[in-house]
Structure 1
C-alpha cells in the first residue's frame, strides 16, 4: 500500500465534530457522548426517532444526494466519513426546524409515517434557494450504504490517487487530485484542487460505478462516475444549480501546481488596507501596532467550508504563537448586503471556533471584489488566500487555497510546514 494511502487512513480514523452549541469542540464531543448515554429508548420522549437515518436531497427527477444522519435526543449529527456536524432540532408551530451552525441555511420539515419531508433552504444562495428533502430511519447494518446496493453487487476497485480534470473540454477546465480509499463496497476520500478541496466524501462502489456524496450545511455534493477501462468518467453535481463532467485516471506521480506560486504581490506595489473591524473599530495595515511582529492575513468568507477548516487551524496557530509575536488578521468577504449583516456572520464564525485574532470586513463575497479591495495582489483565485508577512513588513509568501483534514497527508504536510515557516519568521 502506498505511503500516501496509509497516511490518509490514519488521519481519517480521527473525528471532526461540529456543533451549533459551543465553540469548544472537545466539549461538544463530550455533550454528544452524554446525550447518547442519557437517551431514552422511548422515542416518544423526543421529536424524532432515535438512532441512524439516511437523508436525501432531490436535485432532479432521477438524482438525489444522500448523506448519513444520527439522531441523539433532540440533536441531529450530519455525518460525512469521520466528520460529524451537529445541530439542534426545534419545533416551530407544526414544523421542525434544523438550523445549521455557521452557515446561513436550515431544514424546515414535517413528519410522516416514513420519516420526515420538507426542504433545505440555503439562504446564502438567495432567499428562494431550496431543495426537496426527505429522511428516514435505517438499521445500523445498512448505515454505510448511502446508495442503493443490489444484493449481488460486484465491486470494482477505485482506491488510489487519481489525476482528475473537471469541466472537461471547456475553457474553465481545472485539475484535481482524487484521493480515494476503499474497503469492500465502501469508499471515502476527497478531490484536492488548486483552490481547496471537496472535504469529506463518502459513498459506495456499485458494479463498475462509483458514487460519492457530502452535505456540510453550505454545500451538497454528488460525484457519480463509471469505470471505462482504466479511466473514470463522471459528473459532479453541486446542489440543484450546477453540474459538470470530469475524467480521472490513476497517477501516483501527479501533483498540482505549488499553491505558494499562484498569487503574487505586484511589482512596485505596497500591500495596504483599511477596513471596518467587527468590533466597530477600523483595522488598517500597515500600522505601528504590528511593528516587529509576524503578520498573517487571511482572506476568507464564513460561507466557505475550506475557510472554516483554515480558521480552525489558524485559531490553534494563533494560540501557540501569539505571545511570541504572531498577529493574524482575517479579512472577510460576506454575502449579506449590510455591513451589520456581514459583521454578524463573521462574529458567529469567530465565536464558534473561539478565534481570538482580529477580523474585519473587506466587502462582498466575490473574488473580483477582493481583488479590487486589495489591488496590490496580482489576483485572488480562491477563498481562502493567506498572506505571510515578516517583521520588516515584507510579504514572504502568499498561499492559495487550503488543504483541509479531508486531504489526509496533504493536510498533515501543510500543518507541519506552516508551523516551521512561522517559527522561522518569528526567529528572524
Structure 2
C-alpha cells in the first residue's frame, strides 16, 4: 500500500514544480486580442511578445502594421505592455483560455480604461467575397446626418476576404484599419494605443456602402459611401494646403517656449534668426504627429546644412510641466528627433496661442507651417496622411520636400 503513496509523492515533487514553471514562463508568441471599451463594441488587434537573451520586447499589431511597445515586462503573474509615448499600457494576467486584462491611458479628463482579452487561437480565415463588388479603391464617405454630416475619404484594399485601409479627414488619417469583407459586409477596426475605432457596413444598391462608425465611447454614427474614380477622389476633400492659411500674410511669427525647464527657445535666437523654419504644431498624444515626426526629421537632416530649421510646438494634455516634458522626451526618443520640441502649452488653450492665433481655418494636429527667412507664413498644411494611406503617404512626403526646397530658394 506504500507504493501508490510514494508514487503520488514522486509525482507531486517532480511534476508540480514543472507546472509552476510553465505558468511562470513569459507568454511569448503571437496573440489575437479584442478590446471592449463599452459593451457591444469589440475592436480586434494583435500582440507579439518576443524573448531574446532573457529580455522581452513586443509589438501592437493592426493587420500588417506593427507599433513597438516601449517595454515589455513579466513578473510571473502580470504582463505589462508599455505604451509610454502615449502614457498608456496594457496589463494582463494568464487565464486558462489565454490572457485577460485592462488597457489604461491618461487623457485630459482623467484615465481611459477598457478591458481586453487575448487568445493564441487565430480567428477563422475570412470567407472569400460572395459578390463581384470589389472593395479596393477610393470611396467618398459622408459621416453623420444633416448639417452635422462631414466628408471623409475612404481608401480600402482587399485580398480575398481580408480588408485593410483607413479614413482620411482634415487632420490626417484614422490609422491602420483592418478586418474582413465578404462582398456584402465590411468590418474594419483599429486600436493603436490612442485610436479605438470600428467601422461596419453593408453593400447597397448601385455598389454603395452604408453602416455605422463607433469610436471609444461606442456611440454609433451613421455613414455612407460611394466609389470614386481618380478625378472624384482628388477633389472629394480639400487639399491639406488649402484648409488653413495666415490671417495676415505679412505678419511675422514670434514666440518663446521652453525646450526644457528654465530654458526657452525663441525665433530670435541665433540658431533660428534669418533662417527658413518649418514649424509643426503637434502633441505627443497625437498618432498623426507620430507619423509626421520621422518625415520632418529626415527633411531636417537632409537640408539643415543648407540653412533649414525645424521646430515642433507641442501642446500637451495638462499644465503639469513635469509630465509634459516627460512625454515630449518620450516622443523625441521614439523617433530619434534632433530638432527642438518646445512645450507650447495645453490643448485647452492652444487656439489662443501664437502661432495658432495667427491662422485662419485651423483644424487641429498636426498643422505644419513654412516660414520664410523673415518668419512670415508662406505656406500652411493641415493634417498628415500617414503610412496607412498608401500612395498618399508618398505624395505627402514629396509635397513637404518641395515646400522645403521652395523655402530655401526664396
The answer to whether the superposition gives a TM-score over 0.5 is yes
Q: Report the alpha carbon displacement of residue 109 of structure 1 after superposing the two structures with TM.
A: 1.4
1:1-400 correspondence runs (5 A): 46-48=25-27, 50-73=28-51, 74-87=56-69, 88-91=71-74, 94-124=77-107, 126-139=109-122, 142=123, 145=125, 149=126, 154=130, 157-171=134-148, 173-206=149-182, 208-229=184-205, 230-240=207-217, 242-252=219-229, 253-254=232-233, 255=235, 256-267=237-248, 269-278=251-260, 280-366=262-348, 369-374=350-355, 375-400=357-382
Q: Which residue of 1 aligns with 2:17?
A: none
Secondary structure at 2:406 match in 1 = helix
Structure 2 distance, partners of 1:331, 1:69, is: 32
Q: In the TM superposition, what whole-angstrom CA distance separates every residue of 1:255-279 from its partner, at most 9, and x where no partner exists?
A: 3112112222223643221212236
- Compare 350-359 and 388-397 and name the one that shifted more: 388-397
Is the contact made by 2:186 and 2:201 (CA closer than 8 Å) also made in structure 1?
yes
Structure 2 distance, partners of 1:182, 1:164, is: 18
Q: In the TM superposition, what whole-angstrom CA distance separates every residue of 1:300-332 from its partner, at most 9, and x where no partner exists?
A: 011000000011111111111111111011000
Is the contact made by 1:371 and 1:380 (CA closer than 8 Å) also made in structure 2?
no
Is the contact made by 2:253 and 2:375 (CA closer than 8 Å) also made in structure 1?
no
Is the contact made by 2:276 and 2:372 (CA closer than 8 Å) also made in structure 1?
yes
Secondary structure at 1:302 match in 2 = coil
* 1:279 to 1:105, Cα distance in 2 relative to 1, 3 A: same
Q: Report the alpha carbon displacement of residue 389 of structure 1 after superposing the two structures with TM.
A: 0.9
Secondary structure at 2:154 match in 1 = strand
Q: How many residues align?
A: 377
Structure 1 distance, partners of 2:251, 2:404, is: 24
- Compare 71-80 and 351-360 and name the one that shifted more: 71-80
Secondary structure at 1:78 match in 2 = strand
Q: Report the alpha carbon displacement of residue 409 of structure 1 after superposing the two structures with TM.
A: 1.3
* 1:300 to 1:196, Cα distance in 2 relative to 1, 3 A: same
Structure 2 distance, partners of 1:284, 1:189, is: 40
Q: Report the alpha carbon displacement of residue 125 of structure 1 after superposing the two structures with TM.
A: 5.3
Q: Report the alpha carbon displacement of residue 92 of structure 1 after superposing the two structures with TM.
A: 5.5
Secondary structure at 1:277 match in 2 = strand
TM-score (structure 1 length as normaliser): 0.82
Secondary structure at 1:314 match in 2 = helix
Q: Give ranges in structure 1 of 5+ residues lacking alignment.
A: 1-41
Q: Give ranges in structure 2 of 5+ residues lacking alignment.
A: 1-20
Structure 1 distance, partners of 2:218, 2:281, is: 26
Is the contact made by 2:187 and 2:198 (CA closer than 8 Å) also made in structure 1?
yes
Structure 2 distance, partners of 1:371, 1:198, is: 27
Secondary structure at 1:129 match in 2 = strand
TM-score (structure 2 length as normaliser): 0.85
Q: In the TM superposition, what whole-angstrom CA distance separates every residue of 1:389-410 from its partner, at most 9, and x where no partner exists?
A: 1223332101100111111111
Larger-gyration structure (1/2): 2
Structure 1 distance, partners of 2:387, 2:401, is: 16
Structure 2 distance, partners of 1:152, 1:427, is: 53
Q: Report the alpha carbon displacement of residue 283 of structure 1 after superposing the two structures with TM.
A: 1.6
